[in-house]
Amino acid sequence: MEGQKHMPANNRKAKTKSEGPVAPSSSSAERARLEGVAVRHHARRARAYIVLVMVALAATLSAATYAWFTSNMKVNTNSVSVHSDTSKLVLELGDADAGSWSQQGDASLASTANGAVTLYPVSTFDLNGFAACAQNNSAGDATVFEQAKDNGSAFYHGWIDLRPAITGTGANKVKGKVSLYLAESLVPQGADAELLRAARVGIKISSGGQVLATNIFELDSSDGGHRGEHPATAPAGLAGYTEGMLLGWQNGQLACGANVTQDPAAFTLDTSETAERPQNSLATLALGQTYRLDIYYYIEGTDPDSADYLHQDPGTLHLALFATLDGE
């Protein structure tokens, strides 16, 4: 991010009433069609489309929006396939403990929230611990911080199980590793830029309790027009903190870390006719193994553009996954 990093302090007073539930668009299934796209060096492709619906930043996310995950199984198979059979790669979404998996339609997203969620500026550098401003000094700087608990009171955290699998005849002959990417831009179409500048989308993938990959994506790196309304971030007594770092919560106390936000473009599939794999993958997965996919949505409080969240511009974010199988 350019410019000075700050943390809003007494913005908890800006809570507004809920805008009401927002349902995923029925057009999301049509967005899953990328027929004819050629991606180098892979034999099979699948994509599970996940629709993440957001409302005004200071408003609430109603319980009705928790069915955010939609999987569309229009999988391309072509002459590059390593097997001449009907097998295809799919991304199954569901609840492993309940034995409930879906390859199409909606799958429910579990959440820490009990009812509606109100989003407030927080900060994290690892998606494990979040910090929130609790007090300003006489100059208006944000100096005292507290833990932002993962209970739906300040940021959104939801999760679902993910399992790459091969279906069809010849499935038992297929071997290889699955690479997971973003299928399209995270930036909402038609959304006011002021909503995007301090918003963050965090994606964490784990298996058996072990975190395999953590990515925090910045939706817009441009400067906003309300930075003058934002108090400075000056955590009292925090060793090692320098301007521009992110805050978090570790071992029961305030902590700081480097700004690890990334541009989602490096993880996103190019949809042109000469499409190539993205530069980076979200994770490398094994066929038939169950993974947990955690999604976080929050306002990064150290970003001076988080003052823009007070303007409450609504928007919709579509999160789409694209998987490729590298055969052995």
Q: At 217, give phi and psi (nearest 5°).
A: -105, 135
> Which of 11-20, 225-234, 312-321 is predicted with the least confidence, judged by mean pLDDT?
11-20
Residue 214 pLDDT > 90: yes
Closest by CA to 181, choosing from 101, 92, 270, 242, is 270
Reported as a pLDDT band with limits 50, 70 and 90, residue 232 is confident
* pLDDT mean over 305-320: 56
Reported as a pLDDT band with limits 50, 70 and 90, residue 64 is very low
What proportion of the chain, given as a percentage, has pLDDT over 90? 23
Instruction: Give the amino acid at 12.
Output: R
- 41-55 confidence digits (pLDDT tens): 333 455 544 443 332
- Find tokens 């679902």 and name the residue: 160
- The CB-side HSE value for 154 (13 A sphere, CA atoms) comes to 22
pLDDT score recorded for residue 191: 59
- Other CB atoms closer than 10 Å to residue 72's CB: what's the count? 20
pLDDT score recorded for residue 246: 95
What are the structure tokens assigned to 48, written together? 């599970």
**Strands of 148-287, DSSP E:** 156-167, 176-182, 199-207, 210-218, 246-250, 253-257, 283-286
pLDDT score recorded for residue 322: 81
* CB contact burial 113-145 (16+ within 10 A = b; e otherwise): beebbbbbbbbbbbbebbbbbeebeeeebbbbb
Residue 74 pLDDT > 80: no
Instruction: Give the amino acid at 28.
Output: S
Q: Greater confidence, 234 or 9?
A: 234
Q: Greater confidence, 131 or 234?
A: 131
